[in-house]
Amino acid sequence: MRRQKSNLVNIVLGLVFILIIGGAAFVYFSPLFEKEPAKIVLKSTGYWNLKDDLTVELSDKSGIRSYKVYYKTNNNVEEIAQNNISAKQDKVIFNIKPISLTPNIKKVTIAVEAYDNSFWNFFKGNATYKEFTLDIDRKRPLARVLANSYNIRRGGSAAVVVEVKDENLKDKYITFNNDYRFELIPYIKEGFYMAIVAWPIDIKFDQFSRVNLIAVDEANNKTITKIPFYIKDLKIKNDNLNISDGFVSQVSIPVLEKSGYDIPEKTVDIFIKENEDLRANNVKTIREESVKNMSKELVSNFRIKPFRRLSGSKTVAGFAERRSYFYEGEKIDEAWHLGVDWASIKHADIKVSNKGKVVFSNYLGIYGNSLIIDHGFGLQTLYAHTSQFNVAKNEEVKAGQVIANTGSTGAVFGDHLHFGLLVQGIEVNPLEWMDKNWIKTRVSNILDEAKQEIRSSK
């Protein structure tokens, strides 16, 4: 009898032990009792201007239960936000509103405390506490214009010299209508910059808004300074071109195939795919490659001579021609022709007018075999439809050097050179840059005007 009772006790104790072990295992391994604390991220550069909201992101797989936010300055601690969250949310994002601090306070600590929905810690959840110390920066960057070209024409270029300074400077650039960004190039000494800017041809005269110098620091203090230009319009030449089945079969299809595009079934669709989709992609490539590879080294002198036309050539197409394309009497598309087309003898030598560096040498869709040469100052030249290259990417070239030969590669029938003048990847009017007086009065004089002030500054 005693043995039976002893066995029963042992069984009961065994079951209790098993329950305890099972319960412990359940608590330890169950997702309900997960032990990983919530993640706290403050989206900040480490600076705060006390004007913009700060964004906090909390995340936890069991969901966020509650949070509190404090700020600390010296010996002062103050709660500035708190929230209890009823519905389960794996991610919670909220903003911390600006606080009022006396001017002498240069640092502030933001403390965030969060609890998750875990049953761990006797159902209280995992607690997380994290502090972020931020530098207070209320001062906007200095951004002023020292000199700029008197005017700018649609499709043309202009020069600007500026001063930009800030202890915590993050970014600086020039915008055209807030649509196009132009990088600044260090000029003469630290804190001073120059840029050549462009008025893209697709922005009409009545759409011109303003050109701005913009400087932003790490605390997101921003200075916007208007660059004053008198503006001039450009007379646009309109051309009507008929598209034949022969052109589509002999030019459009091979160009699309070589560029890796699928070929539509209908003639009109084939041409539009080449003239719109492929063209847009090619223009994007020119822009990206130009900006990525342009020299941003400090410059002191502007030594660009007028660019020369292809020797012995005839102009067969000009800059900013607005072309309308017709097929069987119906208008099917339109596009800008940028740059100038020069035709000479077949496979004529192409010589570069100014020294530079080859930053692009490849097949480029409608442009065919193309070279881009960087001349510094954000200024580059494009040579398209060539039959062969005589230089390679990253090669330094001298003025007067034969860099390629004319050809008929890309979306063209006849042998010629498409010459483009690029300002940070945007094709501008080459005729300006072929005019010695224009370069002197619109660019060289502007840079020289600012040079004296820069050299005399502390």
Q: For residue range 54-64, what is the model confidence (pLDDT) as tens digits?
A: 999 999 888 88
What is the reported pLDDT for 89? 83
pLDDT band at 35 (very low <50, low <70, confident <90, very high): low
Tell me what the pLDDT averaged over the chain comes to.
91
Which residues of the chain form CATH 2.60.40.10? 32-136, 142-233+444-453
Q: Tell me the backbone φ, ψ of residue 56, rounded to 5 degrees.
A: -115, 140
Q: Which two tokens stand for residue 345?
A: 């003898």
pLDDT band at 13 (very low <50, low <70, confident <90, very high): low
> Which of 8, 140, 132, 138 is closest to 70 using CA atoms?
132
What is the reported pLDDT for 27? 41
Lowest pLDDT segment from 72-86, 142-156, 254-268, 322-336: 72-86
d(CA 53, CA 129): 21
Give the pTM.
Answer: 0.86
**142-233+444-453 placed in CATH 3.30.390.30:** no
CATH number of the domain at 32-136, please?
2.60.40.10
Q: Would you say residue 15 has pLDDT above 90?
A: no
CATH homologous superfamily for the domain 237-428? Glucose Permease (Domain IIA) (2.70.70.10)
d(CA 205, CA 235): 11
Q: Which two tokens stand for residue 93?
A: 């994002």
Burial-class residue 278 by CB neighbours within 10 Å (0-12, 13-18, 19+).
buried
What is the reported pLDDT for 394? 97
Spatial contact of 327 and 247, defined as CB atoms under 8 Å apart: no
Q: Would you say residue 17 has pLDDT above 80?
A: no
d(CA 215, CA 219): 12
307-360 pLDDT, tens digit per residue, is 999 999 999 999 999 999 999 999 999 999 999 999 999 999 999 999 999 999
d(CA 197, CA 211): 9
Residue 146 amino acid letter: L
386-431 pLDDT, tens digit per residue, is 999 999 999 999 999 999 999 999 999 899 999 999 999 999 999 9
> Which of 423, 307, 285 is closest to 355 using CA atoms?
307
pLDDT band at 121 (very low <50, low <70, confident <90, very high): low
Q: Length of the chain in residues, anyone?
A: 458
Q: Would you say residue 457 has pLDDT above 50?
A: yes
What is the reported pLDDT for 9? 58
Across residues 153-161, what is the average pLDDT?
A: 98
d(CA 311, CA 308): 8
Across residues 106-110, what is the average pLDDT?
A: 94
Across residues 141-157, what is the average pLDDT?
A: 97
d(CA 251, CA 408): 10
Which residues of the chain form CATH 2.70.70.10? 237-428
